Amino acid sequence: MQRLQQQLGVVPERIQVDNGSEFISKALDRWAYDQHVTLDFSRPGKPTDNPYIESFNGSFRDECLNVHWFLSLTDAQDKIEQWRQEYNGFRPHSSLQNLTPDEVVAAATTVELQNA
């Protein structure tokens, strides 16, 4: 989130999260409070509450984790970052009207800045 904030100069108004331990930490809660970001928690055991991340997790697993052997932590970080850049910056998504996530963020940020 800090990288997104640094790149775009904005943070989302709300973030949909599940109830995993990484999302119930005091550090995340404090960050969200400080940034005026609402954390929306999905119901336990209800993956249909968060279909976008479930789809992303499936793509990440099928296209990255199950495809590569990671020889070290650095190797894993490099390969995952390459996949992330491809996924967000170069691969059109049908659910985004065949735009990339980066294109959608850029367009939304432009509109948001124009309306400010």
pLDDT single digits (tens) 2-56: 777 777 777 888 888 887 777 778 888 898 999 999 999 888 888 888 888 888 9
Tell whether the model's pLDDT for residue 72 goes beyond 70: yes
Burial of 12-39, coded b for 16+ CB within 10 Å and e otherwise, reads: eeeebbbeeeebeeeebeebbeeeeeee
Is 18 within 8 Å of 50 (Cβ atoms)? yes
3-class DSSP state for residue 3? helix
